[in-house]
Amino acid sequence: MRTQVAIVGAGPAGLVLSHLLHLRGIESVVVERRSREYVEKRVRAGVLEQGTVDLLRSIGVSDGLDRDGLPHHGIELLFDGVSHRVPLSDLSGGRAITIYGQQRVVSDLTEARLAAGGQIFFSADEVSVDVAVPRVSFTHDGQRVELDCDFIAGCDGFHGSCRDELPGATVYEREYPFAWLGILADVAPSNDELIYANTDRGFALLSLRSPTVSRLYLQVDPAEELAAWSDERVWDELQSRLAHDGWSLKEGPVLEKTITPMRSFVCEPMQHGRLFLAGDAAHIVPPTGAKGLNLAIHDVHVLASAMEDWYATGRSTGLDSYSATCLRRVWRVQHFSWWMTSMLHNFPGDDPFERRLQRSQLEYVVSSPAAATTLAENYVGLRWS
């Protein structure tokens, strides 16, 4: 087979890139190791920045988002038993976040690509990449496929193989000494906006996925076993950490329960020859700032524009500078996510000095318009250049 751009990975990054290229008249083929059912049901982040929402609307895949997405114009910071609202939109020129599950984004994009005649090979086995040719090889329905192309986009996630093809890449990584225990619950959200809680018992987050489904998280030790956390224990701990005057947490059946380790990770550069990494293949952020999906979408926005310029004019300026362009935003997001994580979580040892620093930072954020504005403009997403 032959195409212009071979894309490894049918997550948000790979599918958005394929659709962006299609709208620019550039052919692509997407190769995905998992089944379509698995990819579309995989529950991940559900907080979309303003820039991500604007892009999805601009490429015509926002019907579900506009119908079912839940715009949020603020978040709450809870500490010392008192909740403080940060008015995101008021502090960021009207920009907002929208709650819309990643699995919904993936499903919408998959339908759009297939409706436009796009090729997506789900359940591909033995996927390998040859940057020198360039070529992506894989087995599908028992047949070996050699897919020659002009460029390869590695959108295959943190555990994918494309990153292994970057010789001499520098890796920056930090493992955090805690994890998130997350539940999906069949109960209406207990609050109209997200609540981030810093408590002596550890961090907690009240989020949501729809008007009838809640998403909640607890800070736990990364060595914790799910079997140790009965539904009753989870709800008891959530009740304790999220409690504050004049408010109560609604409980309901737990639909899903997971424990997710937390890390920061960056691979530099994000390109080698005709191979370009995007999304989790190149960088991971802790989920505290809700940035992973949004950062991936920005990557492919930059890459699609650079490829369009190359096909239209032969200029390689955008492709040559792809990694440097993306990494400027990657490191800004890394810092914001680290800052949110450090401000809200308990670290091992229960260091009283660290706790006092956290308290000082939280008090400053909720009392200083300048500090609150810094949080707001990073949380809704810095404007795309």
Tokens 């499903």 correspond to what residue?
Answer: 107
Is residue 379 annotated as a catalytic residue, yes or no?
Answer: yes
CB distance 136 to 31 below 8 Å: yes
Is residue 352 annotated as a catalytic residue, yes or no?
Answer: no
Cα gap 182→78, rounded to integer Å: 19
Cα gap 59→53, rounded to integer Å: 10
Is residue 311 annotated as a catalytic residue, yes or no?
Answer: no
Catalytic residue among 19, 22, 72, 301: 72
Residues forming beta bridges with residue 2, ordered by sequence position: 148
Catalytic residue among 291, 298, 301, 345: 291
Token pair in block for residue 224: 């914790």
Is residue 72 annotated as a catalytic residue, yes or no?
Answer: yes
Catalytic residue among 100, 196, 217, 322: 196
Residue 97 CB-half CA count within 13 A: 33
Burial class of residue 132 (count of CB atoms within 10 Å of its CB; 0-12, 13-18, 19+): exposed
Q: Which long-range contacts (CB under 8 A, 24 or more apart) does 40-44 make?
A: 40/103, 40/106, 40/107, 40/110, 41/103, 42/102, 42/103, 42/106, 43/101, 43/102, 43/103, 43/184, 43/256, 44/101, 44/102, 44/103, 44/292, 44/293
Is residue 301 annotated as a catalytic residue, yes or no?
Answer: no
Integer Rg of the chain from CA: 21
Burial class of residue 183 (count of CB atoms within 10 Å of its CB; 0-12, 13-18, 19+): buried
Q: In degrees to the nearest 10, what's the CA dihedral of 115, 118, 124, 127?
A: -160
Catalytic residue among 176, 286, 287, 322: 287
CB distance 147 to 210 below 8 Å: no
CB distance 283 to 265 below 8 Å: yes
Count of beta carbons in the 10 Å neighbourhood of residue 94: 11
Pairing type for strands 119-121 and 28-31 reads: parallel
Q: Among residues 220, 217, 219, 214, which one has the least CA distance to residue 251?
A: 214
Catalytic (active-site) positions: 72, 196, 287, 291, 379
